[in-house]
Amino acid sequence: MSTTTDSETFTALRSSHYIDGIWTPSADESFIDVRSARTGTVMGRVPAGGVHEVDQAISAARAAQPEWEALPTPERKAFLRAIARAIRDREEMIVHLVAEEIGCIGGTARAMQIGMAAHTFDDAADNLDAALAPTRLGNSEIIVQPVGVVAAITPWNFPLYQAALKVAPALAVGCTIVLKPSEVAGLTAYVLADIVDEIGLPPGVFNLVSGYGPAVGEYLAGHRDVDAVTFTGSDRAGARVAEVAGAAITPVTLELGGKSAHVLLDAHDLEAAVHYSVASAFGNNGQVCAALSRLIVPRSALAEVERLVTAEAATYIPADPLDPTTKLGPLVSRQQHDRLVSIVSRSIAEGTRVLMGGVGQVGDLPNDLSGGYYFAPTVFTDVDPASTIGQEEAFGPVLAILPYDGDEDAALAVVDSTPYGLNAAVWAEDTDRAAQFAKKIHASTVYINAGKFNPSAPFGGTKRSGFGRERGIYGLHEFVQTKAIQS
């Protein structure tokens, strides 16, 4: 397929799965409409695959795997770097596509859907030799080999970056892959299929099957010819993936939900702390599993934090994600919008105090955007840790402020009061104090005083946020197995 730069043309081309290096229509020629988050109108469609297409894709991946594993590592690296270059070459098309498909604003799209997605393929190439290096242990040679065929099931909130986090490390170590993207945002994943087709990746090494979760995702995860499953999504869906994969004794990597905390241990530089917190909570329109959606503050600082949060959050005005000045775009779908309305409404009914926003507070939008899934930035304050908004992942532009009374132990109790353990942040004047506190938090990643994001550091969950790690060399380790050869 030729390179496509226009997003409208791109969406019109999505009529087939990508299986064994060939664009393959569904056996029953059925389709799934994809709606624009901006306007609510149908912007394209993707094929609704099923058992037949999954079987085809797994068979192709199984047949291609030995030769792909045997390919010299410099050649595998060259393919990975070619994918990275091709993603960057498609920057403007991807920015427009994800604005329509998921409501992603331009800055987020350029950073995550292009920059980070491309980096992931380059990073996998950089770490490949170290990940596969043999070692000696006494009389044993310890070698590392690819697990084989990988099933990757990805979410809609970062459709290209999340695909890269799974596809790049799997391909790097010599696995072949079957990718099932979310049907809610099924178009963007086709960028990757176009690229691997264009650069001449060997047939069967990368396969894409589009379709609904129960029809494609569950069958793929439970298939006995799949050697590993990697999934990102909700904890409810992750539990189901683990269940069906477990029946086949297939190892699973799960990156699931979060209710991440940003805890202020003192009133140090509150303006910067609030700016950091709001930016995280409302990033990607609040649709981030690692969003710092709980701001945990000393009660003595609550009034000042409320003032600063109100001023900062007011700058996030729901608007067209294609406008370069927009900071807050729409939610991805009507279903997601209605789910957020339910959570916010239940929280209000419980008596949790609304500092700003709430249901039905979006304001005026142009007529052409009136059908989009926009939601006003919403802040709750004086939140009970056991309340709905203190416990449930909202997955929208909602921030909860939770005051605590007492010392660090009281703050830690609030931080760890949810069933999730994905991401966290600590703010304190004394960075050593913050570092010690960070070690106590049940989360896989903790930032100190707006610590810099490291795209090669391991990322994953604890508790109901899942298990396994993505990014850097740790992401490659998820797709290999070790073998001891005794002499």
Q: Per-residue confidence at 4, pLDDT binned at 50, 70, 90?
A: very low
Kindly tell me if the per-residue pLDDT of 246 is higher than 70: yes
Q: Which two tokens stand for residue 76?
A: 């595998």
101 catalytic? Reply is no
Contact 302, 403 (CB under 8 A): yes
Q: Per-residue confidence at 10, pLDDT binned at 50, 70, 90?
A: low
Kindly tell me if the per-residue pLDDT of 82 is higher than 50: yes
Determine which one of 100, 218, 289, 470 is catalytic. Answer: 289
Determine which one of 183, 255, 392, 478 is catalytic. Answer: 255
Kindly tell me if the per-residue pLDDT of 259 is higher than 50: yes
| Average pLDDT for 114-132 | 98
CA 326 – CA 343 distance, rounded (Å): 25
In this predicted structure, which of 3-7, 16-20, 282-286, 474-478 has the lowest mean pLDDT?
3-7
Q: Which two tokens stand for residue 466?
A: 């899942």
Domain ranges of the chain: 7-256+465-486, 261-455
Instruction: Quote the pTM value.
Output: 0.95
- Strand runs labelled E in 48-156: 135-137, 140-146, 149-153
| Average pLDDT for 59-78 | 98
Fold type of domain 261-455: Aldehyde Dehydrogenase; Chain A, domain 2 (3.40.309)
The string of DSSP letters for 385-412 reads TTSHHHHS---SSEEEEEEE-SSHHHHH
255 catalytic? Reply is yes
* Residue 406, CA distances (Å) to 260, 293, 410 in order: 21, 22, 6
Single out the residue of 319, 323, 310 nearest to residue 353, CA to CA: 310
Q: What is the pLDDT of residues 428-453, one digit of tens each?
A: 999 999 999 999 999 999 999 999 99
Instruction: Return the CATH architecture of domain 7-256+465-486.
Output: 3-Layer(aba) Sandwich (3.40)
